[in-house]
Structure 1
Amino acid sequence: MKIALVHDYLTQRGGAERVFELLCKRYPEADIYTSLYDRQKTIDLSDRIVNTTFLQNIPGAVRYFRLIAPLYFPAFRALNLQAYDLIISSSTSFAKAVKKHPDALHICFCHNVTRFLWDTETYLREYGDYRYFAPLIEKVFQLMRNVDLEYAQEPDLYIANSSIVARRIQDIYNKQAIVVNYPIDTSKFVFSASKDEYYLASARMISYKRLDIIIEAFNWLGWRLLISGDGPEQERLKSKALDNIEFLGHVSDRQRKDLFSKAKSVIVAALEDYGLVPVEANASGTPVIAYGAGGVLDTQVPRETGVFFKRQTPESLQAALLEAGQITWDYQNIRNHAVTNFSESAFFSKVEQIIDQAWRMHKSSDLLGEG
């Protein structure tokens, strides 16, 4: 079976890219395709050949990859994937648009619907100049929504990372999706049953992560809070924080795993479609205190692996923090939860069963069609 692996663009290293990296490792003989590739800023593909689109030849495209959004659909449609039996796309936007041979099977790992098209205001509100160009952008985006809907019909099967994403795929694309929670490399996180006297927030400093809520809550409580990560909101957030809150900036992988393992709890205030941070915390034996919506509903067990707060307010978070302080946590059980449900082996056990079943059904329908 000849396999092609396709990702939107490889110009950064986020959760979607980490999942694509796992797929590339799992299928070492597969050919890799993407629109743009920056070896220095994305996942490690070793010496694998990465096939790109005509966008790679546009000066500045790799650096300003978000500004050329209307060009991605034609770029992916221009790829010649007619020789492949199985196409596995990894997409939050464009890679699902690739054309396949009529006898081939296309399975899309859909991390989300095309968010900047279907939730434009939320996606772009962190860009201050957005409002000045909103009328023009809206006209362009309306045309792109129509194209997105059309090309969303290309995959034969969708796999979603969470229940909320599966619902969006159904509601917007009118396509059913199988939910398979994405994994982490549990070997990269260290377990500790001994916790230090600090709480941890680990996130990029952008508005939707709602670090402002966390800072306000800890300003009031006076408890020690460490915040790792950087981003455009960093200076504004620092100006709001009292002395019990420490900003660490970007930390190394070694520092990060130590921080996760020793924290009393990891705090997540964002509405995440899935969210790897809560699972990474659990893999370290650390409970999570999270806004109770989105992906955490799939990954956390209330009062066993974490505590939810109901509203994105400092007061609601404070109540959850106080509740968590009354729980006698079984840190080993928290770690076991992550390893059992979110390891790579658990993930691929489910995925390969789905692919095998989809392939058999696909070939069976082909034979019925010939008959």
Structure 2
Amino acid sequence: MKMALVHDYLTQKGGAERVFELLCRQFPDADIYTSLYSPEDTIDVGERPVYTTKLQAIPGASKNFRLLAPFYFPAFEALDLKKYDLIISSTTSFAKSVIKRPDAYHVCFCHNITRFLWDTHTYIDQYRRYKALMPIIEPVFQKLRQIDLTHAQKPDLYISNSTVVAERIQQIYKQPAITVNYPIDINQFEFSDQKEDFYLVSSRLLGYKRVDIVIEAFNWLGWPLIITGDGPERERLELAALSNISFLGHVSDEQRRSLMARAKAVIVTALEDYGLVPIEANASGTPVVAYGAGGVLDTQIPGKTGVFFYRQSPEALYRAMLKANNIQWNYRQIREHVLQNFTEDVFFKKVLTIIEENYGEYRGVA
């Protein structure tokens, strides 16, 4: 069986790319396709060649990939994938639009519906430099929404990372999705039951991440807080923070791993479609204080692995921090939660069973 792996673009190293990296490792003989590839800025796919679209030839495309939105659908359609029996796409937007043979099978790992089309104003708020382009963007997006709906009918099977995303796929694309919570590489995190006197935020500093809530709550608490990650909000956040709050910017994987293991808790204030950070914290034996909506509802057990707050406000987080501080956490139990539910072995056992059952049924051999 000839297999292809397809991802939207390999120009960054976010959660979707980390999942695609796992797929590449699980299927070492599969060919890899993407629209744009910047190897120095993204995941390690080993020695295999990465086949790209014609967009790769555009100067500066990898750095300004978001501006090419109208061109991705035809670029993916132009890829010649006729020789493949099984296509696995990994997408939040465009890779689902590839064309297969009529007798081939297309499994789509859908990390979300196309957010910039279906939740445009929230998306633009994250990238404020694009706000001035809204009068131009909106008419284009109206057309792209219809194109997106058409391409969303191409996959034979959708696998979503969370129940929230599965509901969106059903609501917008009118397609059923099987939810399989995405894993982490457990070997990349170290366990410690010796927690130190600080709390941790590990996040890109974007508006929707709502790190401003953490700043204000910790200004009141006066507790030590370390923030890792960078982004356009950093300067504003630093100006609002008191001396108990430290900004480290981008840190190495080793330093991040150490901070995760030693922190009293990791704080997540964004509404995430899924979110790997809470699972990574739990893998380190560290509880999570999280906004109780979205993906964390699939991954956290209140009172066992974390504490939820239900309004994105400093007051709600403040109360949640006091509650978390009074819980006698079982750090080994927190890590065991990940070992039982979110390892690569658990993930691929579920995924391979789903693919075999559905692919076999599709070919009339089940």
1:131 shift after superposition: 3.6
Secondary structure at 1:37's aligned position in 2? coil
Aligned to 1:44: 44
1:130 shift after superposition: 3.4
Aligned to 1:274: 274
Aligned to 2:214: 214
1:224 shift after superposition: 0.6
1:136 shift after superposition: 1.7
TM-score (norm 2): 0.99
1:110 shift after superposition: 0.2
Aligned to 1:149: 149
Kept in 1, the 8 Å contact 2:125–2:208? The answer is: no
Determine the C-alpha separation between the residues in 2 that align with 1:290 and 1:324: 11
Secondary structure at 1:48's aligned position in 2? coil
Aligned to 1:320: 320
1:318 shift after superposition: 0.7
Determine the C-alpha separation between the residues in 2 that align with 1:218 and 1:57: 47
Moved more, 274-283 or 39-48: 39-48
Q: Does 1:122 align with 2:122?
A: yes
Secondary structure at 1:235's aligned position in 2? helix
Map 1:216-295 to 2 at 5 A: 216-295=216-295
Determine the C-alpha separation between the residues in 2 that align with 1:237 and 1:135: 30
Q: Does 1:335 align with 2:345?
A: no
- The one-letter amino acid paired with 1:39 is P
Determine the C-alpha separation between the residues in 2 that align with 1:292 and 1:229: 22
1:66 shift after superposition: 0.8
Secondary structure at 1:364's aligned position in 2? coil
| Structure 2 stretches lacking a partner, 5+ long | none
Aligned to 2:4: 4
1:129 shift after superposition: 4.1
Aligned to 1:71: 71
Q: Does 1:176 align with 2:160?
A: no
Q: State the identity %.
A: 64
After superposition, the C-alpha distances for 1:27-53 in whole angstroms (9 at most, x for unaligned) are 111011000101111111121110111
How many pairs are equivalent?
Answer: 366
- The one-letter amino acid paired with 2:27 is Y
Determine the C-alpha separation between the residues in 2 that align with 1:359 and 1:127: 40
1:60 shift after superposition: 1.5
Aligned to 2:138: 138
- The one-letter amino acid paired with 2:296 is V
Determine the C-alpha separation between the residues in 2 that align with 1:317 and 1:61: 40
TM-score (norm 1): 0.97
Aligned to 1:359: 359
- The one-letter amino acid paired with 2:32 is I
Aligned to 1:167: 167
1:133 shift after superposition: 2.3
Moved more, 126-135 or 355-364: 126-135
1:321 shift after superposition: 0.7
After superposition, the C-alpha distances for 1:250-281 in whole angstroms (9 at most, x for unaligned) are 11111101100010000000000000000000
Secondary structure at 1:4's aligned position in 2? strand
1:360 shift after superposition: 1.0
Secondary structure at 1:16's aligned position in 2? helix
Determine the C-alpha separation between the residues in 2 that align with 1:356 and 1:239: 54
Determine the C-alpha separation between the residues in 1 that align with 2:126 and 2:297: 26
1:306 shift after superposition: 0.2
After superposition, the C-alpha distances for 1:179-232 in whole angstroms (9 at most, x for unaligned) are 000000011111111100000000000000000000000000111100001111
Runs ≥4 residues deviating over 6 A? none
| Structure 1 stretches lacking a partner, 5+ long | none
Secondary structure at 1:40's aligned position in 2? helix
- The one-letter amino acid paired with 1:177 is A
Kept in 1, the 8 Å contact 2:190–2:261? The answer is: yes
